[in-house]
Amino acid sequence: MTLVQTHPRAMSTDAAHRTVADAMDAAGPQVPDDMTVEVALSVMAAARTGHLLVCDEDGQCTNLVTRARLTTLRDSSGYTDRVRLRDITDAGGPFASPLTTVAEAEHAMRHRRLGALPVVDEHGTALGVLALSR
């Protein structure tokens, strides 16, 4: 697996010192944590994305949910149509700072088996998503 790059890079950029801000994708759809799983899946389908950034009432990013996770939950025996994203997300991350090196972020993502990692500023505002390609 290698990191996805969506922006052209200058040839002089040292890969060991490149930051997450250099490699991240746009933040993409951000949804409130009171959204239901069914609506979130519809938003993902409409946006043609595999993940959504979940934000609290103050607009701070609290987590990232994937289509695979929501589909698995929806297909489980205990699922009801009243389940909201705040009920299933792990508040508090993990997140990356835009100043984190790509190497550090990639190591953390592999260790935690994450396909995507939200990038947030010091106020918790989502700036983008760092994704591993398959």
- Whether residue 59 has pLDDT greater than 80: yes
Mean pLDDT on 42-51? 94
- Whether residue 74 has pLDDT greater than 90: yes
Task: Read off the pTM.
Answer: 0.79
CATH second-level architecture of 15-131?
A: Roll (3.10)
Q: Confidence band (pLDDT; 50, 70, 90) for 16?
A: low
Mean pLDDT of the chain: 85
- Name, in order, each residue with C-beta under 8 angstroms of 55's C-beta and a sequence gap of 6 or more: 30, 31, 32, 33, 61, 62, 126
- Name, in order, each residue with C-beta under 8 angstroms of 93's C-beta and a sequence gap of 6 or more: 63, 118
With CA atoms as reference, report the closest residue to 21 among 133, 128, 125, 131: 128
Domain ranges, ordered by start, for the chain: 15-131
Which segments within 9-125 are labelled E, that is strand?
25-26, 30-32, 51-55, 61-66, 116-120
